[in-house]
Amino acid sequence: MKSRPLNTFTLKLVEKLKKAPIAFEEFLDELKQNKERFFDSPELEFELLLTNGFPLEIENDKVYLKTTRTLIEEQTFCIVDIETNGSQVSKGHQIIEIGAVKLKGGQIIDKFESLVYAKSIPEYIQEVTNITPEMLEDAPTLKAVLKEFKLFLEDDVFVAHDIKFDYNFVSNSFKKYDLGVLENRKLCTINLAKRTIKAEKYGLGFLKELLHINIENHHRAYSDALSTAYLLKEAFSRLDSSIKTVEDLIYFSKNANPVMPKVKADNGKKKEKRKEEE
């Protein structure tokens, strides 16, 4: 299957669906208006959205965004981490390891882990990850791993520590191999941690130490995904009871005030406000 171009169309659909469900026929009309749609048939375009992980469901001839109705404790979250041999798919860089765990109701219910064949790995990445070219010689191809991972992911919420990199890299990799694109709802644990956990820094290594998450092999995909899952559980435990649905959670992670206020800088130095003695 060929992939369609990334665009803002589905983002607009999400915003509409967050406000209210849309009648199925009206939804199909919306799909017809998408100038970058892959199929002429809106019914096939609807199926493509589902295949790409857009969490839609039909009830009483209305289309709902699942995450507006699904409670946090009932949602399956797929926590993902990847190791790559560079930063851009467009420049020929690729995933060399992918790890993921599924979390639902506070319990880990499934996992995914695979090295990926690659011809080369820069030395500095070998030093950080301890992944060597020899380890990848008999690993499955990237396309094979991506196909398997897409089936594993389904339409779960895609979670990562620094969501922008992992989500976009995986989506662009899907696109490169004609496997569609990611349309899953997504959640960044850096953003969520900043709104639930008081910390001086929000890198995964620092938060693991702060929260006593004792998982070794930092900078390996599965270990980092597992660590992020425990971080997510900790963040959940600190949420206000008013945050009930998955969409409540996503909104909170992006818009709530951080628990640690930003420190203003003046010429590179921390600027502290002091009361003046009169």
78, 156 contact by CB (below 8 A) = yes
Q: Who wins on pLDDT, 196 or 262?
A: 196
Residue 6: per-residue pLDDT: 45
Residue 271 has pLDDT above 80, yes or no: no
Which residue intervals of the chain bear CATH 3.30.420.10? Answer: 72-255
The alpha carbon dihedral of 53, 157, 15, 12 has a sign of negative
184, 249 contact by CB (below 8 A) = no
For 93-134, what is each residue's pLDDT tens digit?
999 999 999 999 999 999 999 999 999 999 999 999 999 999
186, 161 contact by CB (below 8 A) = no
Q: Single out the residue of 11, 104, 101 nearest to residue 49, CA to CA.
A: 11
Average pLDDT for 243-252 = 98
Q: Which residue has the tokens 């011809």?
A: 119
> For residue 199, which amino acid is it?
A
Average pLDDT for 185-209 = 97
Write down the CATH number for the domain with range 72-255: 3.30.420.10
Report the SS3 class of residue 138. coil
Q: How far apart are CA 231 and CA 77, in angstroms?
A: 13
Instruction: Determine how many CB atoms are found less than 10 A away from the CB of residue 267.
Output: 5
C-alpha dihedral, 265 to 270 to 271 to 276, nearest 10°: 180
Residue 4: per-residue pLDDT: 44
Residue 7: per-residue pLDDT: 60
For 136-180, what is each residue's pLDDT tens digit?
999 999 999 999 999 999 999 999 999 999 999 999 999 999 999
Q: What does pLDDT average to over the chain?
A: 92
Average pLDDT for 255-264 = 83
Q: How confident is the model at residue 269 (pLDDT cuts 50, 70, 90)?
A: very low
Q: How confident is the model at residue 35 (pLDDT cuts 50, 70, 90)?
A: confident
249, 187 contact by CB (below 8 A) = yes
Catalytic machinery residues: 219
